[in-house]
Structure 1
Amino acid sequence: TRAIGGNDLKAIKEVRSLIKHYTPDIVYAHSSKAGAIVRVANIGLKNYCIYNPHGWSFNMRCSAKKRIMYTVIEKLAAPFCDKVICISDAEKQSALDNKICKENKLQVIFNGVDIEAYENGIHGEINRKELNIPEDAFVVGMVGRISQQKAPDVFIKMAKLIKEKISNAHFIIVGNGNQEDTIISYAEKNGFIDSLHITGWVDNPMNYVELFDVACLLSRWEGFGLVLPEYMMAGKPIVASNVDAIPNIIKNGENGLLVEVDDAVGASEAVLRIHNEIGLRDKVVTKGLQDAHNRFDARRVAKEHEILFERIKKEENK
């Protein structure tokens, strides 16, 4: 369970039993909750333990008390793994700033996406007509949970400003979450509910991304933002918030446009620039496609892990 509580002791016991049963050479724990449980469960067992937080919990927008608690947990658990994989330079720097562990325990391996699977997959399974979107509409979309982190409230305020400038603009949110009713209510009160399309949870988000003219990620905090290289490989111009790891991925004016966190006006202006400036749109799309292949291919992620694991094997055999 996500909340910290008594279930964690049961989880630690069961995970420890599994590790003892399978006796792996490497235990690889992903995300903060599983990472804490696995590292405690693995204490004293003979293997090599790797941890990948996928974004530090203490960087979330939360109370100071929770932030301190998350930081303390990470510091206490850090000695119980051999390597911490950071998915961005920003995540590594955050670990150093918060004194989570020594620098030699940290290794950056940028996230990646399966470009080959996408390019060889089936495209066009979802069309605009199915969502009651005119073929000539200007479509702005986002993929993400409809929750505080992904800033759907900023997205919908941005949408209102865009709608005032582009009458045939439509907006797609691919995902679900606890702020959905608030988002719908805002669109209703401001008279553009017919231009808002919320898909709910879907197994094929890229089919909806293909309908976008501009793709957004306006997060308030972000460990990496894997959807950004997904947007790139789909050939979509990007508007994203200038926070945490996102500037590691998006270079303003080169492969997308960056705006400040919680800035609906700035986001709307960036989207309008892409709408109005064909040269800019073509530039960021071309560079985005190049970066997707050169920097964010899952094959590169796999290769860097392979090198790490081979190095571990050599150290074990010494």
Structure 2
Amino acid sequence: MIEKGAIGFFNSVMSWGGGEKWHYEAADYFAQKGYRVYFFASENSVLHSKLKGHHLIQLELVRVTGTSFLNPIKVQRLKRIFKQANLDTLIINLPNDLKIAAFAGKLAGVKKIIYRRGSAIPIRNSLMNRFTFKNWVTDVLANSQATKRTILQYNSKLFPEEKIKVIYNPINTKEFMERDYNLINQAEEHELIIGNLGRLEHEKNQQFLILLSEKLKQQGVKHKVIIGGSGRLEKDLKEEARRRKVQDHVHFLGFVTNVKDVLMSCDVFVLPSLWEGFGYVLAEAALCRKPIIAFNLSSIPEIVIDGKSGFLIDNNVDACVNKIETLLEHRQLMKEMGECGYRYVSQKFDSEKIMADVEEYVLA
């Protein structure tokens, strides 16, 4: 039997998001396939908690700051671990991770150093970035066409475009569809339940949902907004809901372990994110056969088919209200959009096909 190579995943994020989900599931996939897998994560992070009981993955704890790459002790420690592991491939997550991990990887002779870009935010054209991408990074993996476009937005010569590969995030459609769930609450008669999931941070723009609720209340639409997620803006958002007198309509659920609990409890899913690298939750909402309303930006048009599986709008509350009223007036449309989204996502983003593409890419 031919021994498979060693792959390292480097992600120092403390919280849990789409990037962390991708790294964890990709590491598990390669481990289950018989590769030697090493995972570099921060102590007491969500990834640390999930990985410490995984008997097929070697967990290494790291502490990364913006200046860690300037610390020779940290760099040499990583170099030593990389060499001892005989890593063939290193997949890196954050910009701060990239600077130290790619540097140490280069010193250790790692053949393939991949920067996985999961955010559709332009990369700064800084001297450090130009040096890093020219000398240390061998490949870039983007999670959407929108993300790929932003990588070279500020500097078309930052990295060879032909070495930027787009592979969408995988969705384990079979597991997700078979997963049990518990409804958050039962809707009252003629009550519309609007769902949302995401970190309570600026880019997720949950303030939009509070303004939406205020407008729906003014127009006499019986509704409830359920928001799953935690984050730094929780206190501010709750205060905003009280100030606008919609605290009885907008419900903050905190961190949600099973997103399907929220998705199966709502009638329509609204995502007002200001940008998305790849909207996992949009795909999951589609698998729950929910019509989607989201902004026409970033990678969102790659997941939501405007007018078919949902509506793409500008950052405008009145436009969102208009689409909600359309769905309320045409209940059959809600069902048709849900079915369309389900078919599209289950065919395009199924994990079995996507992860086979990732494996082929890593081995190339």
TM-score normalized by the length of structure 2: 0.75
For residues 74-113 of structure 1, the aligned pairs below 5 Å read: 74-79=129-134, 80-98=136-154, 99=156, 100-113=158-171
**Are the counterparts in 1 of residues 92 and 101 from structure 2 also a CA contact under 8 Å?**
yes
**Are the counterparts in 1 of residues 120 and 276 from structure 2 also a CA contact under 8 Å?**
no
Counterpart in the other structure of 2:79? 16
Q: Which amino acid aligns with 1:285?
A: G
In 1, distance between residues paired with 2:210 and 2:322?
14
**Higher RCO structure (Cα 8 Å, ≥6 apart):** 1
In 2, distance between residues paired with 1:11 and 1:172?
44
User: What secondary structure sits across from 1:178 in the alignment?
Assistant: coil
- Following TM superposition, by how much is the alpha carbon of 1:16 offset from its aligned partner in structure 2, in angstroms? 2.5
The Cα offsets for residues 30-84 of structure 1, whole Å up to 9 and x where unpaired, read as 243323332122113142222211115537xxxxxxx555xx5443322322221
Counterpart in the other structure of 2:103? 40
Counterpart in the other structure of 2:260? 206
User: What secondary structure sits across from 2:256 in the alignment?
Assistant: coil
Q: Does 1:286 align with 2:339?
A: yes
Q: Which amino acid aligns with 2:122?
A: F
Call closer, same or farther: CA 1:31–1:277 in 2, change over 3 Å: farther
Q: Does 1:120 align with 2:174?
A: no
Q: Which amino acid aligns with 1:271?
A: I
Moved over 6 A (4+): none
Aligned pairs, number: 297
The Cα offsets for residues 162-203 of structure 1, whole Å up to 9 and x where unpaired, read as 223344200111001222222222222222211221111121
In 1, distance between residues paired with 2:183 and 2:352?
28
Call closer, same or farther: CA 1:27–1:270 in 2, change over 3 Å: same
**Are the counterparts in 1 of residues 169 and 278 from structure 2 also a CA contact under 8 Å?**
yes
- Following TM superposition, by how much is the alpha carbon of 1:293 offset from its aligned partner in structure 2, in angstroms? 0.9
The Cα offsets for residues 83-117 of structure 1, whole Å up to 9 and x where unpaired, read as 21111111222223332311121111111211111
Call closer, same or farther: CA 1:56–1:289 in 2, change over 3 Å: closer
**Between structures 1 and 2, the one with greater strand share:** 2
Q: Does 1:25 align with 2:88?
A: yes
Q: Does 1:55 align with 2:119?
A: yes
Call closer, same or farther: CA 1:247–1:13 in 2, change over 3 Å: farther
In 2, distance between residues paired with 1:192 and 1:279?
29
Counterpart in the other structure of 1:64? none
Q: Does 1:307 align with 2:355?
A: no
User: What secondary structure sits across from 1:43 in the alignment?
Assistant: helix
**Between structures 1 and 2, the one with greater helix share:** 1
User: What secondary structure sits across from 1:275 in the alignment?
Assistant: helix
User: What secondary structure sits across from 2:141 in the alignment?
Assistant: strand
| Residue ranges of structure 1 left out of the alignment (5+ in a row) | 60-66, 313-318
User: What secondary structure sits across from 1:254 in the alignment?
Assistant: coil
- Cα RMSD of the aligned pairs, angstroms, is 2.3
**Are the counterparts in 1 of residues 120 and 298 from structure 2 also a CA contact under 8 Å?**
no
In 1, distance between residues paired with 2:270 and 2:237?
16
**Are the counterparts in 2 of residues 174 and 199 from structure 1 also a CA contact under 8 Å?**
yes
| Residue ranges of structure 2 left out of the alignment (5+ in a row) | 1-11, 14-63
In 1, distance between residues paired with 2:332 and 2:180?
29
Call closer, same or farther: CA 1:137–1:29 in 2, change over 3 Å: same
